[in-house]
Amino acid sequence: MFKKGDFAVFTIIVLISAVLFFTLFGGEGKRVTVTVGGEVYGEYSLKENREIKLRTSKGTNTLVVKDGEAFFKDSDCPDKTCQKSGKISNLGETIVCLPHKVIAEVVE
């Protein structure tokens, strides 16, 4: 079923993602930056536990910072992808809410 060239394709894809992984990710982050439509909305320390209501022109998301991790608790968008995305704590990890154009990213 396989041919020789297939393994070249697989190797190239794995290499690209490995290179991307090591260039894009670092260690543990200290703060989480929230941008809405490309503009910075706010920056929050991961050390302080808190709940932030992000009010955008398209809807509201609730971002929760707890025990050094950030996650979306609630969103009034239809797909709820951001809620299902889980918790982020490492440098460079992101959660994206496409309908509201909200991005939360862990930074230094």
Partner 1 sequence: MSKKTNARLTAYYGIMLSICLIIGYIEAILPLNIGISGAKLGITNFLILLLLKRNGLAAALGINIARILIINILFGSVFSLAYSMIGGLASTLLMYFLLKIPQLSDLGVSAAGGAMHNLSQTLCAAVMLGTPSVLKLLPPLLLVGMVAGIFCGVLTHIINGRLRFNSQP
Binding residues for partner 1, rule: CB under 8 A, are 1-10, 13-14, 16-18, 20-21, 24-25, 35, 37-38, 78, 81-82, 84-86, 92-96, 98-99, 101, 103, 105
CB of 24 to partner 1, least distance (A): 5
Would you state the torsion angle of the CA atoms of residues 83, 100, 75, 51, taken in this order, to the nearest 10 degrees?
90
CB of 90 to partner 1, least distance (A): 10
Q: Which is nearer to partner 1, 19 or 55 (CB)?
A: 19
User: What Å distances lie between residue 71 and 14, 49, 51, 98, 106, CA to CA?
Assistant: 29, 12, 10, 15, 11
CB of 95 to partner 1, least distance (A): 8
Ramachandran sector of residue 49 (left: φ over 0; alpha: ψ -120 to 50; beta: rest): beta
